Amino acid sequence: CGKMGYALAEEAYFRGAEKVILISTIRSQPQPYGVDVKYVEDTSGMKKVLDKYYSTNDVAIMAAAVSDIIPLKKYNFKLKKKNDILSRISFKENENILKYLAKEKKKNQYLVGFAAESGYNSRDVLEKIKDKNIDMIVANDISREDIGIGSDYNEVDIVRQDGAVKKLARDKKRIIARGIWDEIVKSLTEL
């Protein structure tokens, strides 16, 4: 995960979480204080770490912008544009880790997903929540250049399983993380 995931992990620690595990492919980001970072190369590495730790988690937040499709073959060298390489690359559907976790979820676990979309509406997000049996989705519009992936800022809609929507206006990701955790805590106290 990126800056948003790091901000969420750090906020969990500052709120007193007993153990915070962050799974990331980004090694250049400074490690958040008090957070156990597990570095992985790809989605399959992420799944292996989740297989090890997910069953003991109270709250899991899947903030990584995981690609829906991936190349069928992994190349360990630069692909040159000659020899019509683009027509020879095949793709496959990437494993949907959020859906997998929802199937493994226990009654006492709270699962949050992110929907990084180019435009979205809360009705579609609510369908995704019910389809995947997760507790909350944080939706953000990645088509905007001033927020989202790579930016220090975000603006999100938090959609709960009961249909309640909380809008968090554009702000630093650290502040957005605080707002997301406020909603998670609110949901957990209502259970």
Global pTM reads 0.90
pLDDT score at 187: 94
Q: What is the CATH number of the domain that holds 22?
A: 3.40.50.10300
Using one digit for the tens of pLDDT, what is the confidence trace for 131-170?
888 999 999 888 888 887 888 999 999 999 998 999 999 9
CB-CB contact of 29 with 6 (8 Å): yes
Could you write out the three-class secondary structure of 88-157? HCCEEECCCHHHHHHHHCCCCCEEEEEEEECCCCHHHHHHHHHHHCCCEEEEEECCCCCCCCCCCEEEEE
Mean pLDDT estimate for the chain: 91
Report the number of distinct structural domains present in the chain.
1
| Domain contains 58 | yes
The Cβ of residue 164 has, within 10 Å, a number of other Cβ atoms equal to: 15
| Domain contains 79 | no
Using one digit for the tens of pLDDT, what is the confidence trace for 81-108?
776 788 888 999 999 999 999 999 999 9
What confidence tier does 25 reach under pLDDT thresholds 50, 70, 90?
very high
Share of the chain above pLDDT 70, in %: 98
| Domain contains 50 | yes
| Domain contains 15 | yes
pLDDT score at 66: 86
| Domain contains 163 | yes
pLDDT score at 78: 83
What confidence tier does 3 reach under pLDDT thresholds 50, 70, 90?
very high
